[in-house]
Amino acid sequence: MKRRVFPGGYHVVRTNRRMALVWATRIALYAQLLLGFDRYSRGGVSITRELHLGLGIAVAILALVAFRPVPGLVNPGPRQLARFLPLAPLAIGLYFRATGMTLTPLVIAHIILAFVTVACVEIAAARQRRGMADVRVNIVRKDPPT
């Protein structure tokens, strides 16, 4: 029914929801970085250790959902990286938790992968924003509300 009145309406709601998921992923990722710096500088047993583990899992799930393939987005490479790359620092982190061994080379790889993840997420988020803008312009031009 909504589609008859404003054929683009349904699409706009869906893309806004997707953008909200992208924002949630970005915020969670930056919070995860802050917790990571705390882990790096202080170490030891503290609440931030559990938070870093929990948010790490949350970031990985959010990225998998937020960066699902979008039809019409050109060059999906960075988007695919943004979707799956958080799993890499998460895997290393789970190794730390499972074995209790925080080997320096692995910690360095963990941190580098986290920063590459941030870069890919930012690129993918910016591209999605631009893609959404195009969709809105097309909707306004082709299907003006009656």
Q: Residue numbers of the site for ligand HEM (CB under 6 A)?
A: 29, 32-33, 36-37, 39-40, 43, 49, 52-53, 56, 59, 86, 89-90, 93-94, 96-97, 102, 107, 110-111, 114, 117
Q: What sign has the CA pseudo-torsion 40, 45, 46, 51?
A: positive
Residue (23 or 40) nearer to ligand HEM, CB: 40
* Min CB(101)–ligand HEM separation in Å: 10
75 vs 104, beta carbon nearer ligand HEM: 104
Fill in the DSSP letter of residue 143. Answer: S
Residue nearest to ligand HEM (CB): 93
From residue 79, how far is each of 63, 98, 146 by CA, in Å? 10, 30, 36
Amino acid at 18: R
Residue 121 to residue 44: CA distance in whole angstroms: 29
